[in-house]
A and B are shown apart, each in its own frame.
Chain A
């Protein structure tokens, strides 16, 4: 089947299967638009619901010839860096190390 993914003046006709997940679709789009999967959000135009990565197209009742709107995260690079940073353990280790060093210097 085909779905139509629209953003501003461009329509992408994506060949897909109802059993594919939304993430699969985003990976296909990634090749075409040079935007990472994390920065993409797909919205089913008929109902306005946001499509979740883990669910399949059938779960969201996306059928042949459905129209899906594509939105992209604003300021993609910085935001994705920040979300990566907060998700990474470094965020927790840096303050821990500072406390450790401060504690050592206070005790000595």
Chain B
């Protein structure tokens, strides 16, 4: 495992989630952010900030390997909005 294989996703509250790059690439939005040509800060440092996604939602997304997981009813709308935004 190398540092370059990981990406850092930062939530609205500033909490950081370091996950495998290939796991993050499941999201079309993140894939485009990390692979777009030209020297963007996201591509170079492997850091993406999501000012509109809260920490709880972002952590659920990072867990998203499983197809089934428990979720609180009040979070569903926010999670679906985030999933739509990330194209997962």
Contacts and interface: CB of A to CB of B under 8 A. Distances in A.
Given A28-B1, A32-B3, A10 B65 contact: no
A11 interface: yes
Majority DSSP secondary structure for residues of B touching A? mixed
A65 interface: yes
A15 B2 CA distance: 12
B16 A13 contact: no
Given A15-B20, A31-B1, A32-B3, A9 B63 contact: no
B18 A13 contact: yes
A2 B16 CA distance: 17
Contacts of B3: 31-32
Interface string B1-42: 111001000000011111110010000000000000000000
Counting chain B CB atoms within 10 Å of each CB, which of A9, A12, A13 scores highest? A13
B26 to A, nearest CB: 13
Contacts of B2: 31
B15 A11 contact: yes
Contact of A13 (B14, B15, B19): B19
B18 A2 contact: no
A10 B16 contact: yes
A11 B18 contact: yes
A102 to B, nearest CB: 52
B61 to A, nearest CB: 11
Interface in B35-70: 59, 62-63, 65-66
A29 B18 CA distance: 11
Interface of B: 1-3, 6, 14-20, 23, 59, 62-63, 65-66
25 contacts: A2-B63, A2-B65, A9-B14, A9-B15, A9-B16, A10-B15, A10-B16, A10-B17, A10-B18, A11-B16, A11-B59, A11-B62, A12-B6, A13-B18, A13-B19, A13-B23, A13-B62, A15-B1, A15-B20, A31-B2, A31-B3, A32-B1, A32-B6, A32-B18, A65-B63
